[in-house]
Amino acid sequence: MRKEHDFLGEKLVPDEVYYGVQTMRAMENFQITGAQLDPDFIQSMAVVKKASCLTNLKTGRMDPVIGDAIIRAADEIIEGKLLDQFPLDPIQGGAGTSVNMNMNEVLCNRALELLGYPKGRYDIISPNNHANMAQSTNDVFPTSIKVCLVRKAYRLMDALSSMAKGFDEKGEAFKDVIKMGRTHLQDAVPITLGEEMDSYAVAVRRGIRRISLSLSSLEALNMGGTAVGTGLNAEPEYIRLFPEILSRLTGFSFKTADNLIDTTNTTDCFADVSGALKVVSLSLIKIANDIRLMASGPRCGLNELKVPARQPGSSIMPGKVNPVIAEVLDQTCYQVIGNDLTLTLAVENGQLELNVMEPVLSFNLFHSFLYLTNAVTTFTEKLLKDLEADEEQCKSWVDHSVGVITALLPHIGYEKCAATAREAYTTGRPVREILLARKLLSESAIQKILSPYEMTHPGIAGGKDALAR
């Protein structure tokens, strides 16, 4: 054990760990979720600390030997080392101060070790004076959240892009599969299964654009604003240089906010991102539920789609297979929408010069990205790739539907169409048979007007020649 102290007093710390006294206090005080800090977030904060150290070296404020050691320690964390040295619960009081000090302590103790000193020699390298130079938790923590969200957003957008491509492929594969379209869950007019799949691809890509646009709200940083955004203890040169260095390290374009006080006390940028995820989730729920409906059956439902069998569907009904992958996408999206409510309350609860609710805000937003990325990937790999159409069943619903009569409107008028539909409903006779019996259209005209191509492409079905008897 080694003895460390802060202004509250002394505390024994296990000698093998790289964190210190303030981390120990937070471990005792905050045992809330049983979860640990997101590894992406830890690595993102290490990137922010590295950028800050490089900036302090450029301004001449940081001792080069100490700065080099801190950068080497940060690089190890960025590479995925020392992640077990961040044992704190993600939900905590203090606006993230404990996490910031956890990082500062690990950086300093590892830097001390790299220079040949024992851990805890904060008189040589200090968590507050060196690792936190020209910084405050109040600018480090939100900046680290932004870096982390960018990392996670690109993974989610990649997953959504793969999903969109999967729907493109199904759109091509199902382009000639004619089926009934439905409005109000009732028969409407024909559509192709391929057209439905293409529409899903468009919705997914719109979601990608929505997420990408929301990231622009993360560009503005308050680094150098320190405690309340006034820039106390940070040189103007530090404030100017930091975004350039962080942008170079991350590959994402950051800039200094126009008003550091505003960017310190408000967190509406995170509501932008969470809102985008919420809307994307709503679109994905719609798609998943459409597929569940079209795959209903297999004998007593629509049975237009065949979802791959991934596991037995019942503990009591032999042979039952359920659309479990579509179901898990639904449930994941519900969780994301619930997380958005938590985040909304956290954003709303910032008072005066700081929003102290950033720990729970970031906890939920990080999970939303993680869950949604995993669920989208699961849906694409385990359902979409092997999704099949039951072409005969799709055609059968069209052949037995009265909805096709809508295509006849330009040719025999609404009144005759309505009378034909009424007779088809009451007698169960096919529409084609009634048209011929009433001598409303010739066989060749019916074939043209009610052809799958004519009913599923823009224009008046069958053209003017279809009126010839």
- Residues that are catalytic: 314
Q: How many CB atoms lie within 10 A of CB 89?
A: 20
In DSSP terms, which residues pair with 179 in a beta bridge? 191
CB 159 within 8 A of CB 373: yes
Tally of CB atoms within 10 A around 447: 14
Tokens of 294: 């079209």
Tokens at 195, concatenated: 């057209």
Which residues touch 107 (CB under 8 Å, ≥6 apart)? 46, 49, 70, 73, 74, 77, 127, 131
Facing residues of 6 across strands?
9
Q: Where are the alpha helices (DSSP H) in 115-235?
A: 137-173, 193-215
Identify the residue whose tokens are 């997380």.
339
What are the backbone dihedrals phi and psi of residue 317, each rounded to the nearest 5 degrees, phi first?
-105, 105
Q: Is 224 helix (H, G, I), strand (E, B) or coil?
A: coil
3-state secondary structure of 298: coil
Residue with tokens 């066989």: 443
